Amino acid sequence: MDQYADGHILSFWDCFGKKTEESKTWLLNILRKHGCKTVLDVACGPGTESEMLVEEGFTVLSSDASDVMITTAKKTRAARKEAIFSTWEIKLANWLTLPEDIQKPGEGFDAVICVGNSLPHLPFTDGPDRLQPYKVSLTNIISMVRPGGILIFDHRNFDCILETGKSMLNTVYRNTLTKRIELSIDYEKGVPQMIIMNYIFPPIGGQQQTRTFSIDFYPVLLNEFNQMLSTILGGTFQHSLYGDFKPYTPGDVHVKPGVFSHVVRV
């Protein structure tokens, strides 16, 4: 059972929460390179990226579909007494109804981010187009950015996971996990429908037993994701692809990044 939406992940936040300096530097550089000032974080979780962006002077609206995550982010905001944190907005919102849940400022935000491998939480449909929830969500997320603004998406390298049956334990986002991941893949008619990752962490506080955390992902391959962007946006956008924060060329068999990041300028 996926233990993210119910907030169980927060009891493991010592393992997941602190991001690497590389991830922070990359995100800030991209936003500043494109002159962004207003940011919509549509997968804020407990507010890790959003809090950092507010600290760095961005005007941030954070949203998540989990009540638990929104409550946690609001507690984080309340604990920050600096005046700049009074500008941080936090709202409950669902990607599938985003234009109704969030009122965009003017023509839209300078940047919209959806990071932390968040999109693959979306379940596939049972109909003829299993990617329909992705397409609706991406369309709604894209609608929130202003003309000339940017979108930042990321997701794990599911191509490699499905090819090898293994997942990187440590990624560029979080590199201090110290035990292992037990992986299982559910197929239907030869098509991967779900990847279940059971994280096994060392015991803490004198306990004898290891800690476990389970999370489900619905894997979209890199070419599928790229094709969805092309279909939704047409030919009028710029797309830069990164693998572990370094420029990446699709099909490069010599590089197997743990995380793909997409920077899209519309």
Structural domain boundaries in the chain: 17-156+220-265
Per-residue pLDDT band at 1 (split at 50, 70, 90): very low
- Candidate from 21-30, 56-65, 154-163, 168-177 with smallest mean pLDDT: 168-177
pLDDT at 178 over 60: no
Q: Which comes out higher in pLDDT, residue 188 or 101?
A: 101
Percent of the chain with pLDDT over 90: 67
pLDDT at 3: 46
Q: Which comes out higher in pLDDT, residue 37 or 127?
A: 37
Looking at domain 17-156+220-265, its CATH class is alpha beta
Q: Which comes out higher in pLDDT, residue 2 or 234?
A: 234
Q: Which comes out higher in pLDDT, residue 31 or 9?
A: 31
- The whole-angstrom separation of Cα 152 and Cα 32 is 13
What integer is the mean pLDDT of 190-205? 82
Work out the mean pLDDT of the chain and round it to a whole number: 88
Tens of pLDDT, residues 114-147: 998 999 999 999 878 999 999 999 999 999 999 9
Q: Give the global pTM.
A: 0.90
Active site residues: 4, 116, 121, 156, 173
